[in-house]
């Protein structure tokens, strides 16, 4: 059997009377690229929020690399090896682009406040290490020359790439990308596709939310389809694409 890095086990998430997720089961194996699709308000982002500890699920469990991750705080989940990007970009607007990426590496540093105030060699070394790692990632994402600018000075597509760089700086095992291609033009989307394939080659496991069906079909090995908080289909892209329930969900919502 393949190595399972994420298992979502009978997850239900309620907001007042609204069930944003109903009894969802899914899993993710090491090295896979898996898509989560569904119409607006289907519960995709909520699923990410449950996995990353932003919401505590009403029912069910989340297992991260075989360990129970249910109810853990977001910073603990990040430390366990899950990193995410946000649907509505959330970079730190008053920190430089370099600092934004260094911030991602924060969870892989450990100097305590006494070591920081005493400026010990350990602290200096680890600060140089995360700075260098951040610069490397910026080069990889083609953002190196903007490193001292603020993230707000970047065009939209590059802000999304910066978010990916920041997530990579956490040294994740799994990357959760929430609509990474949203608002990108064709060229930017194509660049993103290359980046994601490169990341797969480097051994990252990727869970991807996306609206752009073509993009998902192109890149994902398996797909989960959510609608109104329910998992209505799952499987290979071709299978999902021809599933009548999926077609109905999309036709019923998007064609207005």
Partner 1 sequence: MIKKTVEFIALKQRFIIAAAVIFALLYPLLFSDLFILRMGTLCLMYIMLALGINLIMGYMGQMTFGHAAFWGIGAYTAAILSGRFGTNFIVDIIAAALVAGAFGFLLGLPVLKVKGYYLTIVTLGFGEIVRLVELNASGLTGGALGIRGISGIRLFAQEFTSPRAFYYAILILVVLTTVILMRINNSRYGLALKSIRDDDSAAEVMGVNVVRNKIMTFVISAMIAGVAGAFFAHYISYIDSTSFTTQASQEMCVMVILGGLGSIPGTMLGASVLTLVPEFIRGLAEYRMLIYGVIMVVMMLVRPQGLLGYTDFGLIRTRLLEERGKKKGGGENNGTTGTEG
Ligand X SMILES: Nc1ncnc2c1ncn2[C@@H]1O[C@H](COP(=O)(O)OP(=O)(O)OP(=O)(O)O)[C@@H](O)[C@H]1O
Counting contacts by CB under 5 A, is residue 46 touching Mg ion? Answer: no
If DSSP codes are grouped into helix, strand and coil, which group holds residue 229?
coil
Whole-number minimum distance, CB 217 to ligand X, in Å?
17
What is the rounded distance in angstroms from the CA atom of residue 162 to the CA atom of residue 160?
5
Find the binder of ligand X among 6, 45, 78, 246 (CB under 6 A).
45
Q: Which of 234, 229, 226 is nearest to 250 (CA)?
A: 226
- In the set 2, 3, 10, 15, which binds ligand X (CB under 6 A)? 15
Q: Which stretch binds partner 1 (CB under 8 A): 6-14, 34-42, 99-107, 226-234?
A: 99-107
Among ligand X, partner 1, Mg ion, none, what does residue 156 contact (CB within 5–8 Å per kind)?
Answer: none
Neighbouring residues of 55: CB distance < 8 A, sequence distance ≥ 6: 13, 46, 49
- How far is residue 152's CA from residue 159's CA, in Å, rounded to a whole number? 8
Count of residues touching partner 1 (by CB under 8 A) = 39
Which residue's beta carbon is nearest to the bound Mg ion?
45
Q: What angle do CA 61, 64, 66 make, to 5 degrees?
A: 95
The three-state secondary structure class of 247 is: helix
Instruction: Please name the residues in contact with 77: beta carbons below 8 A apart, sequence gap of 6 or more.
Output: 51, 52, 53, 64, 69
How far are the Cα atoms of 44, 133, 137, 168 from residue 100, in angstroms, in the given order? 26, 12, 11, 12
- Least Cβ distance, residue 178 to ligand X (angstroms): 7
**135 sits near partner 1 (criterion: CB under 8 A):** no
Longest dimension (CA), the chain: 65
Least distance (Å) between residue 187 CB and partner 1:
18
Q: Which of 11, 32, 43, 97 binds ligand X (CB under 6 A)?
A: 43
Separation CA 104–CA 98 (nearest Å):
10
Write the binding mask 196 to 235 for partner 1: x where contact by CB under 8 A, - elsewhere.
Answer: ----------------------------------------
- Asked if 52 is part of the footprint of Mg ion (rule: CB under 5 A), the reply reads no
Q: How far is the CB of 169 from partner 1 (least distance, A)?
A: 9
Which residues are near ligand X by CB under 6 A?
A: 15, 18, 20, 38, 40-46, 87
Which residues are near partner 1 by CB under 8 A?
A: 52, 54, 73-75, 78-79, 84, 86, 90, 92-96, 99, 102-104, 106-107, 109, 111, 113, 116-117, 119, 123, 126-127, 130, 145, 148-150, 152-153, 166, 170
């Amino acid at each position: 059997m393949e190595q399972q890095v994420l298992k979502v086990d009978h997850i239900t998430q309620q907001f007042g009377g609204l069930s944003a997720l109903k009894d969802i089961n899914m899993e993710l194996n090491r090295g896979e690229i898996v898509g989560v699709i569904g119409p607006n308000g289907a519960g995709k982002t909520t699923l990410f929020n449950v996995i990353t500890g932003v919401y505590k699920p009403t029912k069910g469990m989340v297992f991260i690399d075989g360990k129970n991750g249910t109810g853990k705080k977001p910073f603990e989940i990040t430390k366990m090896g899950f990193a995410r990007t946000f649907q509505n970009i959330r970079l730190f607007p008053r920190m430089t682009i370099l600092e934004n990426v260094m911030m991602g590496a924060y969870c892989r540093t450990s100097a305590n406040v006494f070591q920081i105030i005493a400026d010990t060699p350990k602290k200096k070394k680890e600060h140089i290490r995360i700075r260098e790692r951040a610069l490397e990632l910026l080069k990889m994402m083609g953002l190196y020359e903007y490193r001292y600018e603020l993230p707000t000075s970047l065009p939209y597509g590059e802000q999304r790439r910066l978010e990916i760089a920041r997530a990579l700086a956490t040294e994740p095992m799994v990357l959760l990308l929430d609509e990474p291609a949203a608002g990108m033009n064709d060229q930017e989307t194509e660049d993103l596709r290359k980046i994601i394939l490169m990341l797969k080659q480097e051994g990252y496991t990727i869970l991807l939310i996306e609206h752009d069906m073509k993009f998902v079909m192109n890149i994902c090995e398996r797909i989960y389809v959510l609608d109104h908080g329910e998992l209505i289909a799952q499987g290979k892209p071709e299978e999902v694409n021809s599933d009548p329930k999926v077609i109905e969900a999309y036709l019923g919502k998007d064609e207005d």
